[in-house]
Chains A and B, each alone.
Chain A
Amino acid sequence: MKIKILLVDDEKEFIKTLAQRLKIRNFAVTTVYSGQDAIDIAKENDFDVIILDVFMPEITGIDALKQINKIKPLTQIILLTGAATVENAIQGMKLGAFDFLMKPANTELLVEKITQAHALKHEHEERIRQAEIENILKTRGW
């Protein structure tokens, strides 16, 4: 099963090309161009990893991160920005981002991070599933 990725950036040209490259690498990629669209689409779908630009008009990447975390806590978010500082990175990590990359990012590194993020999400899901099974077993007395 392909890893589902949501790409969010107001730079359409960039995001289109990156989407193509990730598709070549066998990822299922969806693209949106604003923070609000990202929140809306995240509500409807279950993405494994969201790659989020930090500096966007209206809703910034950080704001979108906060909201998506509430809606889909298991979805892993990688922040991507053209003007990062250590403070931004640490703030993002504190808010629950999986990692932080600077533009222009090395694609292989990005792929590696996506894979790691997906593995983490999978791990969390597995743990939750295990907990649910244990809970059902306990409830039914088996």
Chain B
Amino acid sequence: MFKKIINIIFFFKKKPRNHYAILKRNIIIIMMLITILPLAAMIIINFFQYRSHLKSQIIAPLYAMAEKTRHSFELFWEQRLAIIRFISTAYSFEVLSNEQNIKKILISLKKEGEGFIDISLINNQGELVSYAGPYSLLGKNYSEQVSFQETQIKGQYISNVFLGYRKYPHIVIAVQHLADNGKNWILRATIDTNFFDNLISSMGLPRQTDAFLMSKDKILQTNSLYYGNTLEKCLLQLPKVNFRSNSIEGTDNENRDIIIISSAFSMADYILVIVQPQSVALKSWYALKTDMLIIFLMSITIIIFAILKMTTIMVKRIKTSDEQRENVLSELQHAQKLSSIGRLAAGVAHEINNPLAIINEKAGLMSDLIGFAKEFNKKSKFIDLTNSILNSVVRCRKITHRLLGFSKRIDIKIESINMNHIINEVLDFLKKDILYRKIDTNLILSDSLVSIQSDHGQIQQILVNLLTNAFAAVEDYGLIEIKTKNIKNRGIRVTISDNGCGIPNNVIKNIFDPFFSTKKDKGTGLGLSITYGIIKKLGGKISVDSKIGKGSIFTFELPEKPNDLEMINE
């Protein structure tokens, strides 16, 4: 990470070949890290917090239900034990030994207390002394049974569900009675387990939720919806068993994710178990989780899209700006180079023009003298020679004038100018041509023309070039029209139209090319090229429209100030 940051800091210094791609990649990585990481961290923290909170909210009612049901069971057993204990206290062994008496007691029990099946009296030897109920159990000995032994030790006993002699699931509750004479006996009652099922069904469990009783050695005491019937082994992994409700998450034998809540009984070897599939219990959590995931993914998508878009735009702008800067620098270097060459050229041209003028005049004088002299030997030869010198001077003059034109094109001096004034100045300069050739000039100059920041001399040069061309194009008595107008927020437009010969289509595409001339020997082919170069340099543009025999329209636009004004001024 640190290395990446360092790379980015030194990016502008290093500028490797594909540095914009690397810059883009680095920006994307960093922006993604600083946006997605905190978002992901927040989502993860929220995920665990919401899960923990919602789970406790979801499980709380199940805990309450388990506690309530366990209390109901315990109350039921308390009541049954209290009834049996009361009978053992209220009646003596002898009274209870009488079969008629014990049957009457059973009838009363069935009236008062739900679930009693039978009642029996067992002496301290484990022998069944009297019995009231639907089975024939007289003479049975219980001394070897756990129920007898535990009752002897603990004074009372509640059994697990078992089949016993009856081959029918039931439970036994027994109470030991110690008589004043030191004798002890046990009063034992059998209770129908249907009551368990009734109690569990009255719990009002949610859909797909199972509740059942099991012994501590995992033998089902009631029927379960999914995990077996009474007296079958239950294979579920239970939470830690103590005298309060506990829960765990697990998987059942059908691989369903479930939540198991267990609540152990204090007075009997029973555990109440509630099993609810997580898909039901955590339905609202799953919905929330999905929503969170969707929001997270949407956020990530938007962030990634925004980062990619922004980075692309940003890097593109940096690239464009770099390119512009490099172009401006290169243009500046080029301009400086040209400026130096231009100054040199101007100096050379000036220095050459003077001796050239002397040669011109000397040769001219020579030609004059020969011309005016009488015929002499080889006179025509001398005339040819002087004409040849004069022609060479003309060639040299074209070169020096071109060099001067080139140097003029280089240096730009920006000032506030009024185009209408410059047009009048230039027309004044050209007025002799206008007068001698009787050319009609029609000026349609905008009164509200804005002043622009540009180069006075260069604009004079543009106008002189365009007007000289227009003069060359029109016949005597021709018409030249000059229009100026503002372009909204973009500067000014100047249109110079003539009713001259026009420019052929095959020529018009080349007229701004250097050294392209239709004037044969008269032109250097640089006028429109220089004009084009100046207008471009001043941030403007030029266009031409022409029809053969009808005339041409040259239109140029100049901005209120050149874009790279600062660079030019520098």
Hey, which bits of chain A sit against chain B, CB under 8 A?
A: 11, 13-14, 17-18, 20-21, 24, 55, 82-87, 89-90, 93-94, 99, 102-107, 116
Contacts and interface: CB of A to CB of B under 8 A. Distances in A.
B349 A83 contact: yes
Nearest to B428: A93
A96 to B, nearest CB: 11
Contact of A104 (B350, B351, B393): B393
B353 A17 contact: no
Chain B interface size range: 35 or more
B361 A17 contact: yes
Contacts of B41: none
B353 A21 contact: no
Interface stretch (B328-336, B440-448, B456-464, B504-512): B456-464
Contact of A18 (B353, B361, B393, B401): B361
Given A14-B361, A24-B372, A107-B364, A86 B461 contact: yes
B511 to A, nearest CB: 20
B428 A105 contact: no
Given A11-B358, A87-B457, A102 B429 contact: no
A24 B346 CA distance: 33
A85 B365 contact: no
- Would you call the interface of chain B mostly helix, strand, loop, or mixed? helix
Given A24-B368, A116-B432, A82 B362 contact: no
A107 B353 CA distance: 15
Contacts of A87: 456-457, 460
B492 interface: no
Given A14-B361, A85-B404, A86-B461, A21 B368 contact: yes
A116 to B, nearest CB: 7
Counting from the closest, the 7 A-B pairs by CB-CB distance are: A82-B353, A83-B350, A104-B360, A17-B361, A103-B357, A104-B357, A87-B457
Contacts of A102: 353, 397, 401
Contacts of B426: 90
Given A94-B425, A94-B428, A104 B359 contact: yes
23 contacts: A14-B357, A17-B365, A21-B361, A21-B365, A24-B372, A83-B346, A83-B350, A83-B353, A83-B404, A85-B457, A86-B457, A86-B464, A87-B460, A90-B429, A93-B428, A102-B397, A103-B353, A104-B356, A104-B393, A104-B396, A105-B360, A107-B361, A107-B364
A83 B406 CA distance: 12
